Structure 1
Amino acid sequence: MPEASTPVAVLQPGVPAPAFTLPATPDQRLSLADLKGHPVILAFYPADWSPVCGDQMALYNEVLPEFHRYGAQLVGISTDGVWCHAAFAAERKLHFPLLADFEPKGGVARRYGVYRDHDGTSERALFVIDGDGVIRWSYVSPLGLNPGADGILDALDLLVEQNTSAGAAS
């Protein structure tokens, strides 16, 4: 029987985002707490150098100014190591951090419900987290499909609308 492609425990909107600290470079670490106060886009992806992952990260690099208009920080996460990320980011000229969920293997992906035990990678999963650290949108894409940026942009639009409504109500 084939493995299920989507884990049953993917974190859903309304849940506090699990804290993490992961290597961004061989000598720097980045924590979710470092980004508090601003929306965060977590883009889990299976592996550097795969064609779909490369296209996905390149697209996000192009859309990065749009994400920044919302005050959002984009972070890529895979189970590859920091040196692999460094080479991949340099080759693709990426301008956002890639975090290594390498040791313990997939520890952060597991907490978000997107680790693939049978192949040691993560799902192609997206999360938009608000400035208070609550997941506001999540999506798991089929592995072979680039999910694009429309869902992320829609989620960021909704965050702005909710913040505007909350501000008007107080």
Structure 2
Amino acid sequence: MKNDQTTNNGKSVLGPGTKAPDFTLKCTPDQSVSLSDFRGAPVILAFYPADWSPVCGDQLALYNEVLPEFRRFGAALLGISVDGAWCHAAYAKDRRLHFPLLADFHPKGETAQSYGAYRHQDGVCERALFVIDSEGTIRWSYLSPIGVNPGADGILTALEGLAPRQQASTREASRS
């Protein structure tokens, strides 16, 4: 699989083969989600700078449209930014998003920092994508320029690459 974790400005995010750092973040003002909750299935992490910004709106709307394709691979999609849970709730409702937006709000950007996806100079998340396999290992990552919608092609290619690995794991588990 193509390794896209470094941009031309020299910044990098965690790359393939790295164990994905676990986290627990608010998905609503009174509920939290942990990455470990999804163990056993692929997870897509979409870090983005901010709710209500034009490029983020286009990116998240696209992911909402291709969500059935992500789910065809059994993958969960989690959007992550430093906005608070109340802001996410209003944004998700307004945009009719059908996947959770997680608040990396306090301590600000801690999860993004653990993935190498935090813009210290601006105090927001980078526009970074990760596909994590069912065992919690990053299999693909991509750091996009902040003003560019990275689309969904890389995610779909990464999920297609996981399919044979997922099938092999399922066969192994059924033999045990």
Q: Secondary structure of 2:136's partner?
A: coil
Structure 1: state its 5+ residue gaps: none
Q: Which runs of 4+ in 1 moved over 6 A?
A: 166-170
Residue 22 of structure 1 corresponds to 25
> In 2 relative to 1, CA 119–5 (structure 1 residues): closer, same or farther, beyond 3 Å?
farther
1:166, distance to aligned residue in structure 2 (A): 6.4
Q: Secondary structure of 2:141's partner?
A: strand
- CA-to-aligned-CA distance 1:125-166 (integer Å, 9 cap, x gap): 000000000000000011111111000000000001333466
8 Å CA contact 1:55, 1:146 repeated in 2: yes
What is the distance in 2 between the residues matched to 1:163 and 1:135?
14
Work out the percentage of aligned pairs sharing the same amino acid: 65
Query: Mapping of 1:1-170 within 5 angstroms?
Result: 7-8=11-12, 10-164=13-167
Tell me the C-alpha RMSD between the 2 structures: 1.7
Q: TM-score, normalised by structure 1?
A: 0.92
1:30, distance to aligned residue in structure 2 (A): 0.2
| Residue correspondences, number | 166
What is the distance in 2 between the residues matched to 1:26 and 1:16?
28
> What letter is aligned with 1:125?
A
> What letter is aligned with 1:86?
A
1:5, distance to aligned residue in structure 2 (A): 5.3
> In 2 relative to 1, CA 95–167 (structure 1 residues): closer, same or farther, beyond 3 Å?
closer
8 Å CA contact 2:81, 2:103 repeated in 1: yes
What is the distance in 1 between the residues matched to 2:87 and 2:11?
26
8 Å CA contact 1:45, 1:124 repeated in 2: yes
- CA-to-aligned-CA distance 1:72-127 (integer Å, 9 cap, x gap): 00000000001110111011000000000000000000000011001100110000
What is the distance in 2 between the residues matched to 1:115 and 1:43?
12
1:7, distance to aligned residue in structure 2 (A): 2.7
Structure 2: state its 5+ residue gaps: 1-7
> In 2 relative to 1, CA 58–64 (structure 1 residues): closer, same or farther, beyond 3 Å?
same
